[in-house]
Amino acid sequence: MEGARYLEDGRLTIFKRSGVYYARLRSTASSNYIWRSLKTTNEQTAVDLGR
């Protein structure tokens, strides 16, 4: 993903789609991902909410 920030040793990815930040979390139980809108346009707020 272009412009994405990879945090928590790659388990958490913060990225922007259509002006809004999203978080993608890798589940520890399996290789599935959980996607959530962070409902913010501010990158620092998105990182804080994602963590």
Number of CB atoms found within 10 A of residue 45's CB? 13
The pLDDT, as a whole number, for residue 18 is 93
Q: For residue range 2-31, list pLDDT tens digits in order.
A: 789 999 888 899 999 999 999 999 887 777
* This prediction's pTM: 0.83
The pLDDT, as a whole number, for residue 2 is 74
Question: What average pLDDT does this structure show over 33-38?
Answer: 93
Tokens read off for 47:
């990182």
